[in-house]
Structure 1
Amino acid sequence: MSRAYGYTSYGGPETETWFDRPEPAPGPSELVIRVKAIGVNPIDYKIRSGAMADPQATPAFPLVLGVEASGVVVAVGSDVTGFSEGDAVMGRSAPEHGSYAEHAVLLAEATAHKPPQLSFLQAAALPVAGGTAWEVLERLDIVEGQTLLINGIGGGVGVMGAQLARDRGAAVFGVGSAAKRPLVESLGATLVPYDSGDVVEQMRELLPGGVDAILDLVGGGPLRQVAILITNPARIVSIVDPGVDEIGGTFLVSGTAGVPSVARLVAEGKVDPKILQTYPFDEAPQALRAMESGHVLGKIVIDLEQTTRA
């Protein structure tokens, strides 16, 4: 049997539960891993809430929480090539599967080999935040000498986006609370604190000519406020606000194609996923509550080899 943490119906934290299940088997295009570490993301509780559910589908509860993990391959689907039992990998959960479990089913096309220089904790932090940040920067065509404003810089995607843009030679500015200054400056970015004055006025003092591109992680009014700083709205990408197209930008959910490239940069010491909180598997509920609080710095990872909180 394999232990998992999931939910028995769509809703709030009250729907969450531990349960045992048979060790899962992979579909033709899937892998099963023995999980070493699990990345915690806002999408975890958004999926649990039912906000992303297909109204025509009949879910087979209980469902496992989570969308990303790292671990060791224990089974390979019939159509999968390039992976073998015993490989150390990191990846995204296959459809209708989750990652808060001792064994997880990953989609092979969204899975990458873990470089030996990376820990399993680091690897678990990359498929969502690293892959998404990489795809956004590709979409924005960020190159050396340009300026990027990250609206909501303190979380996982913002942390990765700042470092990846900096590695490309861009100057990065990030909107966040004043308390995030040490973290933001450690990324090589300039903080624009929303709680210390008008963000637009501060940016115009820093960059009178505006910014070249905007990565939005907040949406709503704050996105529309900073959008005035850019001359070409086509160079706005939001991963949280589908209504960004109303102002000429692009909505992007996530991406995984860049994960091997991001992992290589982490292995080379050029990028740090900033895992600032880790929890043992027994405290998966507390890890998700911390994420759901909306006040997370950096990345939260659940460590299946950890027995007490770090």
Structure 2
Amino acid sequence: MPKAYVFTRYGGPETEALVEVGRPSPGPGEILVAVRAAGVNPVDWKQRTGYRRPGETGSHAFPAVFGNEVAGVVEETGAGVDGFAVGDEVFGSAVGGAYAEFALLAAPVTAHKPAALSFTDAATLPVAAATAYDGVRQLDLPSGATVLITGAGGGVGSAALQIARALGLRAVGVASEGKKDFVESLGAVHVPSGPDLATRVRAAAPDGVDGVYDLVGGEVLAEAATLLTDGTKLITAGAPAPEVEKLGGARVERARNAAVLDAVAQLVVDGQLDPHVTRTFPLDRAGEALRTVEEGHARGKIVIEVAA
């Protein structure tokens, strides 16, 4: 039977296990793929704790398979699916988990993988890069403007820095001192994280910042908001809507469509976006991959690779 990495109840790492599961069957509008790679994101372990993303309703059925982004090869298509055939190489958002040998994708949020794009890199795009792309585009800043990105050393943050640069923006990235070289390698100005952030940002960007893309929330979000004269240019993927709305900003509005996936894939192919996959793990070491992200040690992206 196919294998999948799951959590058996809400809680900590003790709830996780590699188990055998039935091969999924695609429903209407769904695509079954043989997984080649699955991206690892903070939302994965947060879902294990009982966290729900905006728009999610209800509870997980257990065992619940980890993961939200997949790249693989089409095995079967469900009713009403057009434009995809068995054998196609695709990537997209998982329905019911991604850390597995087989996964279901929602056809409207699935794209064909360009031949020049590896499965490993493609698996970083549906959540992290697409979230970065949606957020930078939502700010709608003119070319030459300055955008501040907090949490810039992670998967979403590093993608956001590069996408901002590709759109002609000056990027300032907030990250730990240990990620200074990494942030600067992406063409951004590095600002160390920590107390009194606003003072350091003002020194690094004396002409001010025109927009803030927050990936941290809490005190970092609140302090970054003080740098703006226009609160509508504050967005977050790191805090709940009420937290940012009281500051005049908004949550990132996710497009969740294939057009965004095509756009970020093209940025990778064109050399304007490097997913920076820093470590890969096989499926039987998915727990180690998840710990790397959960404990905050990841730089760039972590990917689980599944053998063909």
Smaller-chain TM-score range? over 0.9
**Residues 58 and 245 of structure 1: is their aligned pair in 2 closer, same or farther, counting only changes over 3 Å?**
closer
Confirm or deny: 8 A CA contact 2:74 2:87 kept in the other structure.
Answer: yes
Confirm or deny: 8 A CA contact 2:18 2:284 kept in the other structure.
Answer: no
Moved more, 202-211 or 102-111: 202-211
Q: 1:55 offset after TM fit, Å? A: 11
Moved more, 47-56 or 64-73: 47-56
1:179-190 → structure 2 map (5 Å cutoff): 179-190=178-189
Confirm or deny: 8 A CA contact 1:239 1:254 kept in the other structure.
Answer: no
Partner of 1:252: 252
Report the Cα distance in structure 2 between the residues aligned to 1:235 and 1:144, rounded to whole angstroms.
15
Q: 1:256 offset after TM fit, Å? A: 3.2
1:207-218 → structure 2 map (5 Å cutoff): 207-218=205-216
1:278 aligns with 2:280: yes
Partner of 2:87: 86
Partner of 1:48: 48
Partner of 2:135: 136
Confirm or deny: 8 A CA contact 2:189 2:204 kept in the other structure.
Answer: no
Q: Deviations over 1:244-299 (max 9, x none)?
A: 01100011264433111010010111110010111111110000011100232100
* Correspondence for 1:265 among 264, 267, 274: 267
**Residues 200 and 45 of structure 1: is their aligned pair in 2 closer, same or farther, counting only changes over 3 Å?**
same
Partner of 2:290: 288
Confirm or deny: 8 A CA contact 1:227 1:233 kept in the other structure.
Answer: yes
Partner of 2:77: 76
SS at match of 2:126: coil
Partner of 2:220: 222
Q: Deviations over 1:124-150 (max 9, x none)?
A: 011101111111112100331110000
Q: Deviations over 1:52-72 (max 9, x none)?
A: 289984643111111111000
Confirm or deny: 8 A CA contact 2:134 2:253 kept in the other structure.
Answer: no
1:102-117 → structure 2 map (5 Å cutoff): 102-117=101-116
Which one-letter code corresponds to 1:269 in the other structure?
G
SS at match of 2:299: coil
Which one-letter code corresponds to 2:237 in the other structure?
I
Confirm or deny: 8 A CA contact 2:138 2:252 kept in the other structure.
Answer: no
% of aligned pairs identical?
45
**Residues 10 and 201 of structure 1: is their aligned pair in 2 closer, same or farther, counting only changes over 3 Å?**
same
Partner of 1:67: 68
**Residues 85 and 62 of structure 1: is their aligned pair in 2 closer, same or farther, counting only changes over 3 Å?**
same
Confirm or deny: 8 A CA contact 1:160 1:271 kept in the other structure.
Answer: yes
1:126-165 → structure 2 map (5 Å cutoff): 126-165=125-164
SS at match of 1:154: coil
Report the Cα distance in structure 2 between the residues aligned to 1:2 and 1:74, rounded to whole angstroms.
14
**Residues 255 and 300 of structure 1: is their aligned pair in 2 closer, same or farther, counting only changes over 3 Å?**
farther
**Residues 56 and 138 of structure 1: is their aligned pair in 2 closer, same or farther, counting only changes over 3 Å?**
closer
**Residues 298 and 59 of structure 1: is their aligned pair in 2 closer, same or farther, counting only changes over 3 Å?**
closer
1:125 aligns with 2:127: no
Report the Cα distance in structure 2 between the residues aligned to 1:56 and 1:221, rounded to whole angstroms.
28
Report the Cα distance in structure 2 between the residues aligned to 1:137 and 1:56, rounded to whole angstroms.
27
SS at match of 1:264: helix
Q: Deviations over 1:222-261 (max 9, x none)?
A: 1111111111010111002121011000112644331110
**Residues 135 and 55 of structure 1: is their aligned pair in 2 closer, same or farther, counting only changes over 3 Å?**
closer
Report the Cα distance in structure 1 between the residues aligned to 2:92 and 2:162, rounded to whole angstroms.
21
> Which TM-score applies when normalising by structure 1?
0.94
Confirm or deny: 8 A CA contact 1:240 1:253 kept in the other structure.
Answer: no
Confirm or deny: 8 A CA contact 2:39 2:124 kept in the other structure.
Answer: yes
Q: Deviations over 1:67-99 (max 9, x none)?
A: 1110000010111111111010011112xx000
- RMSD between aligned residues: 1.8
Report the Cα distance in structure 2 between the residues aligned to 1:246 and 1:19, rounded to whole angstroms.
44
Q: 1:205 offset after TM fit, Å? A: 1.9
Confirm or deny: 8 A CA contact 2:278 2:300 kept in the other structure.
Answer: yes
Q: Where does the alignment leave 5 or more consecutive residues of structure 2 unmatched?
A: none
Confirm or deny: 8 A CA contact 1:142 1:168 kept in the other structure.
Answer: no
Partner of 2:198: 200
